[in-house]
Structure 1
Amino acid sequence: MDTEVESGGRRGRPNYSPEFKHRLAVAACDPGVSVSKLAQDHGINTNMLFKWRRDLRAGLLAAPATDETRLLPVVLKPSAPAAKPANGAARASAIEITIADAAVRACAGTDAALLRLVLQSLRA
């Protein structure tokens, strides 16, 4: 039985480490994996593992922090020079990120936490 349990504040209920939850939720997403069997092998409730998998897919179960930095390829596309607005106002800056078939456009002032959540959900 491979479980990582910490003593919690509530009696009778274990607290599983975020790394353990993330690892099992990712394993539960693999094609052909029996979530029930995976839960049983690790001594946890099947419904709990289903919840962790749902949370992972919704971007609510954060990946464990690692010291390793992953780099993603960046492709720069030349764009046509933008026409300056007639009223002299500066054009708001924006970026577009394409992952697989999804495109994410982030304008200046976009909440960083929200953008991180969106990008994590696209990678899952």
Structure 2
Amino acid sequence: MDGQRVTKPKDIRRRHTEAFKLALVERSLVPGASVAAIAQDAGINANLLFNWRRLHLQSLASAAAKDSCGPVLLPVTFVEPVAACAPSPAPPPPPAVTARAPLGTIEINVRGTVVRVRGPVDEASLRTVLRALVGAA
């Protein structure tokens, strides 16, 4: 090539220490904190700080999953079956037709665990599942 030397472009990306990243992530996780303002004060792009936050929260979730002691058991109540020779009570009248909730899906992500509820679900059951998830977290 006519004696010209081909050079590679310099890597102009800045390298940030883990302590710097962690300090910014912790500041951004404070309730009411503005990620954009924190990033601007530090002289970095807000998208970079959002990425660091996502990676930090994922590492916390995976560490929590490793530390968990396994599945959570829910209380169960057994009811004695009615004797076959006893007369069965008259069936209750059918419930009055009420407006049904539209069918849909609820998806809840709690620290990497996804709970998906499809179709109509009564409020008490959903509360029980959510309490169990909060207790496990």
TM-score by length of 1: 0.41
- Structure with more relative contact order (C-alpha pairs < 8 Å, separation 6 or more): 1
Structure with greater Cα Rg: 2
| Structure richer in strand, relative to its length | 1
Of Structure 1 and Structure 2, the greater helix share is in 2
